Amino acid sequence: MGAFDTYLFSPPREPFNPFWTSTIHKWWKKFSGDQAKAFDRYGWSYYTREWNEEWFPGYGSSWSIFLGAVGILYEQAGVSGSQVKRPDGTILTYRESVHHQFVSSLANLATAADNRQELLSDYYKEKKGAVQPKSVTTYLFVPGEDESRTQQFVQTLLLQNLEVKKTKSNVTASDLTDI
């Protein structure tokens, strides 16, 4: 974030990724509401949505959502370890920026503690639903010209405990969907 910004936290802006767990919106509302109350006690500025889109699963907060957790992003305007004079004349110090992060973290921890049973229950339901007998989904990936890149991709899938198989002969397939 730029130095002239304030403070951002979840929920992100639309469009929402259709592969998210069904409960993420409920938890974003709860966690962001508690963060907002904590900031309001100090009169601090903040915002939600705007540039944060969480569509790409490579962000730290996004990837956890795909694993069934509540991914929460909160980000402080940068001050580069000193202080910044903003266009409105206010000065944001490094100490204040750390205080914002600290208050935000405590608010999130309190929300998690106060709602631990429901959080665990929702997590359990999501995980249980993921392993219930359903139709098996298989994805076919045609290797590209860069063999090392294909190997890195396979290693990433294996690290996520996904089953990966390599064909030993040519395959003829029909009724496929390109995603």
The torsion angle over the Cα atoms of residues 111, 115, 120 and 123, rounded to 10 degrees, is -60
Band the pLDDT of 133: cuts 50, 70, 90: low
Q: What are the tokens at 53?
A: 């889109």
Greatest distance between any 2 Cα atoms in the chain:
69
Tens of pLDDT, residue by residue over 73-127, are 888 887 877 888 888 888 888 888 889 999 999 999 999 999 999 999 999 988 8
The residues pairing with 93 across neighbouring beta strands, listed in sequence order, are 83
Could you report how far apart the first and last alpha carbons of the chain are, in Å? 33
Give the other-Cβ count within 10 Å of 26's Cβ.
13
pTM score over 0.75: no
